[in-house]
Amino acid sequence: MLAYCVVLVGMVILDLTIKWIFLFFICIYVANYLNFIGLLMILRNIPTQEGHVLQAKTTIYMWVMNGLYVALLIMACFITPPVCQHKKVYPFVLNMAGIMFLINAGFNFILYYYNFGLTW
């Protein structure tokens, strides 16, 4: 939680000072990953039988999202770096980072709709 807060404060500082796109990407990437992994750890460590079922149901999602985060990092480092270009002001990898956040949010809304598979 502290790391997430530090990243968000860093984004505010970047927004109010020099706007380095690659640092924005790093902050967004780290904040999204911390959000993803934090909620996933909460969901995967519920100490009941239902929690074990929920852990089994989220295993594929965990591996797919981790793979997508690795792919995004590889794209940002080697294929399309997060810098402004003459014909493309907004970097492609920033769009992908936003899409990763939406995928994570969508999955969590679906889990919420189905009460996380828990009996309340």
Q: Are 33 and 101 in contact (CB under 8 A)?
A: no
Instruction: Give pLDDT, residue 70.
Output: 96
Going by C-alpha positions, the residue among 44, 65, 66 that lies closest to residue 117 is 44
Q: How many domains in the chain? A: 1
Is 62 within the bounds of a domain?
Answer: yes
Going by C-alpha positions, the residue among 80, 93, 102, 83 that lies closest to residue 32 is 102
pLDDT tens digits, residue range 43-67? 888 888 888 888 888 899 999 999 9
Which of the listed ranges 3-17, 63-77, 106-120 does the model predict with the highest average pLDDT?
A: 63-77
Is 119 within the bounds of a domain?
Answer: no
CA distance 46 to 84: 43
Is 7 within the bounds of a domain?
Answer: yes
pLDDT tens digits, residue range 91-119? 888 889 989 999 999 998 998 898 877 77
- Record the tokens describing residue 23, joined without a space: 């640092």
Domain around 86? 2-114
- Record the tokens describing residue 93, joined without a space: 């990898």
Indicate the pTM of the whole model: 0.82
CA distance 74 to 70: 6
